[in-house]
Structure 1
Amino acid sequence: MNVEGLRYAQAVSQTKSFSAAARAYGVTQPALSNGVARLEDELGIKLFDRSPRGVMPTAHGTRILPMIDQALGLLDAVVSESRRLAVVRSGAVRMGVSPLIGSELVACAFEAARGLPRPRDLVLREADLDALGEALRAGELDVLLVPAVLPLPSFRRRSISSEPVVVINSAAPGDGTPLELEAAAAADYILVPDTCGLTKFTTQLFSGNDLPLRRYPGEAASFRVQEEWARMGVGAALLPRSKVTGDASCRPLVRAGVSVRISYEAVWARDTPLTAELEEFADALAACRE
């Protein structure tokens, strides 16, 4: 049975249109229509009826199309798992990293992987937290290195390191003196999209201490823009120390005199074949940062 015909039928079922399915699949409409027709001939049943209201499954199609979805899902899982196992055999560990992770921590990860009893290479993928989580669940990544801001009860996790948080605010002295969190709450904060973990950390920090988070009505696209706008006086910026350029004046954020820090952790699936090695990797990475 031709897999392409199954995918064509799935696309028609999802879009309820042969032309829309052809566009979504990146083929001409005649090619898609012919593929579906060949599949129907092979199955001996008609899957779709066309009408002025669009394309609808036939009675037989209503039974068969969900089975086609299941079959293609299993086939995709076979391909994904085969690729994952091939990477495991190659000796590489696929690690996803948040944009918030600094270069020093990534360098420590390479050192930790190469120091395992069976030395490993790292294959890195940087992406937003949602995309990294999906890739880990799909078996496309072996381990994540991310800010410790998400509840992940179904995964194994290991605290790796932390770093101080600083505030940049041109309306207040930038002489390096500590700034108490309660006093920091008086500023309007420029935030970035809630994808890398920094905005979630900031929100949790203020709400966890029963303080209001005053938000600048706009939004910066990156840490660099966040810092530049804060230095221009648009608002204040709260950043991990490693994300601040060397010439930027900033103040360490403290709570009752104790440094406020953002934590990072390694996260991996409980049922991965690399469980033992990832435990060792996480331990080595944590020790590297101590």
Structure 2
Amino acid sequence: MNLRDLRYLLAVADHRSFGRAAEACGISQPTLSVQIRKLEDLLGVTLFERSSRRVVPTPACERLLGHVRAAVAEADAILAAARELRDPLAGHVRLGIIPTLAPYLLPLIFMPLREALPRLEVEPWEDQTAGLLARLRTHELDAALLASEVDGQDLDSRPLFDEPFLAGLPPGHPLAARAVVAEGELAQDILVLTDGHCLRDQALAICGRDGALGGPLRAASLATLLNMVAAGYGTTLVPGLAAGAAEDAGIVLRPLASRAGRTVRLAWRARCPRRAALQAVGDVIAARLRGFAEKAA
């Protein structure tokens, strides 16, 4: 048994397709099939039920997958630790980032990261908070940029910068005449994102609404939310980094009376061997956004 074949096993189990798994592994489908057959012969069990339409892990495979993932993760940790011993600021860092942050933060930080850490390649992965935390715990990501606290002794985090919220209003809205808007005033017609976005929960909490309320619209992206507000469909809370996009869409922005906002954090596994690289990435991002909250408020 070798590590390569265990990676092939995980690829087939995750993709539920020999074709997609082979593409992900960078090999031909016949080669992948042969290696899986050899692994089945070695283990003495059938790993997958194969049909013309789908590939499904057998109960035996399901029992083995946890051990396989742990073995591959430990092997990757050994390789990562060895790379860090040679050069802690080189190699790849897989960085998760929430969707309400990614389009606005990534353009600001990629050039500073390249200049400060030229031997480190940062690979972004966009997903909601729950998905990012799950991928952190399964070693699919090295770190994640989040806007909420992390729970569990298996994860560490550090705050990087504060991002204020702004009241986002349609042109001609009665509140647009105010210099400052009280959060409770937005509650009458506030629009929020779908469940799973931390910005949804933050918006409802700040404006004094419970999770069952928040207007009829459930937008899957902040861009959709901004366009609906610009069209006069309601109000919303706009994260400070998205202010430019909101104004481009035709939204009127006003500061909030309480100066409410969110803290963007970098989270990673407590035992991650790439701590030096992650701390360096965090330092660059924190430096790039230093003072942002004061300027945006």
1:72 to 48, 53, 68: 68
Write the distance in 2 (CA, Å) between the matches of 1:159 and 1:46: 48
1:190 touches 1:219 (CA, 8 Å); kept in 2? yes
Aligned to 2:99: 99
Instruction: Answer yes or no: is 1:220 the counterpart of 2:244.
Output: no
Residue type at the aligned position of 1:183 = E
Query: Aligned-pair RMSD on alpha carbons?
Result: 4.3
Letter in 2 for 1:92: H
Please identify the structure whose Cα radius of gyration is greater.
1
- Relative to 1, partners in 2 of residues 1:120 and 1:143: Cα closer, same or farther, differing over 3 Å? farther
Q: Which moved more, 1:71-80 or 1:152-161?
A: 71-80
1:201 matched residue in structure 2: 202
In structure 2, list runs of 5 or more residues that go unmatched: 23-28, 48-57, 292-297
* Residue number in structure 1 paired with 2:156: 156
Residue matched to 2:251: 249
Deviation at 1:229, TM superposition (A): 1.2
**Closer, same or farther in 2 for the Cα pair 1:287/1:168, shift >3 Å?**
closer
What SS does the aligned partner of 1:258 have? Answer: coil
Structure 1 residues 198 and 120 mapped into 2: Cα distance closer, same or farther (>3 Å)? farther
- Cα 1:140–1:82 change in 2 (3 A) is farther
Distance 1:25 1:108 in 2: 32
Match of 2:235 in 1: 236
CA distance in 2, matches of 1:139, 1:46: 27
Q: 1:87 to 1:190 in 2, by over 3 A?
A: farther
Residues 152 and 169 of structure 1, relative CA distance in 2, 3 Å threshold = same
1:190 partnered with 2:188: no
Report the 3-state secondary structure (helix = DSSP H, G, I; strand = E; otherwise coil) of the residue aligned with 1:135.
Answer: helix
Query: How far does residue 113 in structure 1 lie from its aligned partner after superposition?
Result: 6.9
Deviation (angstroms), 1:282 = 2.6
Quick one: structure 1 residues 97 and 7, their matched pair in 2 at CA, closer, same or farther if it must change by over 3 Å? closer
Q: How many residues align?
A: 253
How far residue 245 of structure 1 moved from its aligned partner, in angstroms, is 3.3
Q: One-letter code of the match for 1:260?
A: A
Partner SS state of residue 245, structure 1: helix
Shift of 1:93: 2.9
Q: What is the identity percentage for the equivalent residue pairs of Structure 1 and Structure 2?
A: 18
Cα pair 1:95 1:142 within 8 Å, conserved: yes
**Unmatched tracts of structure 1, length 5 or more:** 12-19, 49-60
Which whole-Å CA distance do the structure 1 matches of 2:192 and 2:93 have between them?
A: 33
Correspondence for 1:261: 261
Contact 2:95 2:142 in 1 (8 A): yes
Aligned to 1:183, what secondary structure does the other structure show? helix
* Contact residue 226 and residue 251 of structure 2 kept, 8 A: no
CA distance in 2, matches of 1:104, 1:69: 36
Residue 58 of structure 1: aligned partner:
none
Q: CA deviation at 1:259?
A: 1.7
Distance 1:125 1:131 in 2: 14
Q: Residues 68 and 166 from structure 1, CA distance in 2 versus in 1: closer, same or farther, beyond 3 angstroms? A: closer
Please say if residues 110 and 122 of structure 1, whose CA atoms lie closer than 8 Å, have aligned partners that are also in contact: no
Task: Report how far residue 163 of structure 1 moved.
Answer: 2.5
